């Protein structure tokens, strides 16, 4: 084991990584190339599967590479993702396409102001034949659940998701019903400033691994979107998408991610980042230990899909914003000054010394 650790340390020292500019999703973009050294574990099948998924989605979606990769990372870490953007930027379509590349059950729930918790979880119905109540499961019982416009439902409906997102089970009439793995929630929402939306409770936001901000496409991407729509009558043909991963494959890769090495100084780096959110004068609410675990797991998955069996500081920096931005709350004074959570995270990352 000591020889393995020494070897991994040498590999980390010799590997080449690069800090990349921030892109429109609010995360640190990483262009870390696949490395030529020999890993302890075989990551090639995982990398090939990720590339195949990207190619399938690219049959319909133009651009949005960062959103797609973060959603793939969320699957590999068994985490839920919240996707925010204005209408029309392919939030829902991308989530549906990603689910299509997985050979698992999929359901979609459209959130509306009049939606009730029973519309999500299910309800007990009296059976005249058996003279007893029977539980009719709701659409939440699936492997991949797409919740569209999650912030259009009131707090009472949002609360119905607390238990199932955190514990992957539902308690109904004293009975516990466990969700079949994998169980992942992809939720889309419009910016809260828009009419008819509700702010999600902090307890619910903390259950999302990532908050992925989706911006408008670039000029080049928008031109390509128009060309595709003009030339292809079957532009939105979901039947053209091939399933790449089964539930067994997903579990295998999730277990593989757990084997990625993280040195002690990088664990301290993650803890320092999160700890600095709790005593920051700009913040009313800092991040919980759940955020620390989320950064750790996301960084391990990011390392794996780039062909490394160890985490680097770039992996951590890349995932930090997507993990933290929905968990932090500015003080009222800072909100009035138009300060942003992104700026706070940038300041924290600039302040803390990067491990070498």
Sketch the domain layout of the chain as residue ranges: 1-31+260-356, 42-258
- Highest CATH level, class, for 1-31+260-356: mainly alpha
CA distance linking residue 55 with residue 21, whole number of Å? 24
CA distance linking residue 316 with residue 299, whole number of Å? 5
The pTM of the full predicted model, rounded to 2 decimals, is: 0.84
Four-way CATH pick for 42-258: 3.40.50.300, 3.40.470.10, 3.40.228.10, 3.30.230.10: 3.40.50.300
Average pLDDT in the chain? 87
Task: List pLDDT tens digits, range 253-277.
Answer: 999 999 999 999 999 999 999 999 9
pLDDT of residue 88: 87
Checking if the pLDDT of 205 tops 80, the result is: yes
pLDDT of residue 192: 67
Reference 312, options 2, 30, 23, 6; nearest CA is: 30
Task: List pLDDT tens digits, range 93-133.
Answer: 999 999 999 999 999 999 999 999 999 999 888 888 888 88
Checking if the pLDDT of 303 tops 90, the result is: yes
Adjacent-strand bridge partners of 22? 28
Torsion of CA 118, 120, 126, 130, to 10 degrees: -150
Q: Would 1-31+260-356 and 42-258 be classified into the same CATH topology? A: no
**Confidence class for position 1, pLDDT limits 50, 70, 90:** very low
Checking if the pLDDT of 21 tops 70, the result is: no
């Amino acid at each position: 084991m000591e020889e393995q650790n020494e070897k991994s340390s040498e590999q980390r020292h010799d590997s080449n990584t690069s800090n990349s500019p921030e892109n429109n999703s609010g995360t640190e973009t990483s262009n870390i190339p696949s490395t030529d050294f020999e890993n302890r574990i075989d990551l090639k099948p995982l990398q090939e599967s990720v590339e195949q998924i990207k190619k399938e989605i690219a049959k319909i979606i133009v651009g949005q590479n960062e959103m797609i990769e973060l959603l793939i990372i969320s699957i590999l870490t068994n985490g839920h993702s919240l996707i925010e953007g204005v209408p029309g930027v392919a939030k829902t379509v991308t989530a549906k396409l990603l689910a299509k590349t997985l050979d698992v059950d999929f359901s979609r729930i459209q959130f509306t102001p009049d939606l009730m918790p029973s519309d999500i979880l299910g309800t007990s119905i009296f059976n005249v034949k058996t003279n007893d109540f029977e539980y009719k499961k709701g659409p939440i019982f699936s492997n991949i659940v797409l919740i569209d416009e999650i912030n259009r439902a009131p707090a009472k409906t949002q609360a119905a998701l607390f238990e199932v997102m955190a514990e992957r089970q539902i308690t109904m009439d004293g009975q516990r019903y466990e969700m079949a793995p994998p169980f992942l929630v992809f939720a889309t929402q419009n910016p809260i400033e828009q009419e008819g939306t509700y702010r999600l409770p902090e307890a619910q936001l903390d259950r999302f691994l990532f908050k992925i901000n989706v911006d408008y496409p670039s000029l080049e991407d928008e031109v390509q979107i128009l060309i595709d729509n003009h030339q292809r009558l079957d532009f939105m043909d979901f039947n053209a998408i091939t399933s790449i991963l089964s539930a067994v494959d997903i579990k295998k890769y999730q277990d593989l991610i757990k084997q990625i090495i993280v040195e002690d100084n990088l664990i301290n780096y993650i803890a320092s980042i999160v700890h600095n959110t709790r005593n920051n004068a700009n913040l009313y609410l800092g991040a919980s230990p759940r955020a620390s675990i989320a950064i750790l797991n996301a960084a391990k998955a990011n390392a794996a899909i780039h062909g490394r069996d160890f985490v680097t500081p770039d992996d951590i920096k890349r995932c930090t914003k997507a993990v933290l931005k929905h968990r932090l709350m500015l003080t009222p004074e800072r909100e009035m000054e138009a300060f942003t959570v992104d700026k706070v995270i940038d300041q924290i990352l600039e302040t803390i010394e990067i491990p070498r």
